[in-house]
Chains A and B, each alone.
Chain A
């Protein structure tokens, strides 16, 4: 079974500190990491490979330094990796990103299953997975929390919904997005680290994967950011002070006044 896992390199923390006077970001060496949800996607891909046989290819669209997360993916069990990097890909919204990833998956050829994390911690849209499925013209299942079985090209999974979970079946090839509940990602292995060190990770450009430049990157993006701002939090709660008994008295009084109890 050939599995492709899509990974994105994101900032290591989304807890940005803002200088209250200048209203600008305080940057202190935030390192880049693999999008946490994508580590679950990779782990699932490697587990499925161990269970059913096959290969796992890690894929990322990003700037040249994103190759680090691909090397890390190899230490965690991916057989090989490809970086999609080209100035033409820059500034892409989810449509343009899915378009580019779709071209790359097609070039990888014979991919049975594409696994993505449910969303990124910087963009938070969760849109690339489903849009990629449309680009590839294959079935799509979101929020997968367990892969029950893959038999004769038929995938059976459990996926989470608001009030419980559903068991769904689809024919491969397919795209799925996974949630954290699906597994516990492994730690790197020494042999994986040795393999990653010597691994050749090719960079594919727009030309390599047949991307039309008007459809990729900023040029291919239907949406555009016009403004960015930091939410102002100036509100301060009314603090009820004193011993616990005093605090509780005051609170219950206020709740009664507000007719909340």
Chain B
């Protein structure tokens, strides 16, 4: 399905003036000179700017000259669009043109599979001159081209879009349709290991920027016709390809329909990353939490698809989004499903714990220190008190500054040019921290707490961690003002907010709230695979993912010795 979006911009005065009916006279110069010898500037101006919708209404006519003029006018100053014209060997009277975007087609394929056959280089002499004009198109389509998919298109708008998305157009005299063949080939990044989600055991491949490669990666994981990949085009200017992927029969069709409806509603000039779409289609746009998850791991996306989620792949970014997203996903990692379940459960509990550490460690420390020292051990209190004697700032300022410094270090480490990165992070974390403590500006305890919180925030899924980072400061301020009740207040506020969130109609905290006891097997722990018979019931209509009772056992007769 190809969606074509029409501009709804009101015509400016100039545009209105230039409104005219498209006729032959407009495009054909008086002297009717041969194609190819025309100077481009002899063409009448056709406004191909984004504000002008006129050319989109046009259709191909039977005249190659006219068609090429239109296209050339549209692609005026697009130096990467190549117009390759020649005569058809079987019928000298028929002229041909191959139009493509240089750099988006595979030049070997173009030569071997399109240009050479069309030039008749590989043809027998006796077939020459036997093709009548009106059957040329049919003949080329059926007998000459040896490429895969061939389409016949009449509308200029679609022709332009297809050329721009890298397909090769063949226009010929006497046909009001253009033949399209897909011999795209453009530089792509290799499929590499994800730098974001890393694991020990599990597949190494990750998505790249090319949409087709990404769908093929998914298709290789789920070899089933039920894996549906529906294409949409979004972006007035960028015409970005977006694919909605789901497994028919597993994903709740309502969710798929809702995803498509929301994406269809988008009217924006450009989609450069999935984040654009995410912010335009999520349920609670003002929430710090991601209600649409993203990842560049193929196996993770495939697993989520199999659980009944829909994926959104955007051309030009390796990050594939999934919806609906649940909070619990942020403490999950694909590796949990590959490692032994005891270990995975332990790690998940650890991540739950680190989630709380990263969100509240510094504010808890602050409120204990400044409001409730009675809750600390006596000897701990004495040692912290001894450290604090030398520090000139109030605890709140001290911890707040340290949090900010750690954010700065984290951001710097990320943005720093690669070779510098390591040096700076060492300088930042060790030298700065140590110097600050030695200079008596901060207490070692504060450094420990803040650093622990910062490190803890890297243990779980990155989308979860970026939701937490701004919240931490809010909690810090609350507990700075009113201590532990403030912290509890903040945590409850977050909890109420999270319980209020929905992602495509699914409660964000599902399956914890609304509680579904059976599905807790895949939340803070991971039960062994043979016991996880069911998919999350809110996400899918197809509840059972496997045959029951698959717990392996030793053979009955076998005895030791």
Whether chains A and B associate is no
B-binding residues in A (CB < 8 A): none
A-binding residues in B (CB < 8 A): none
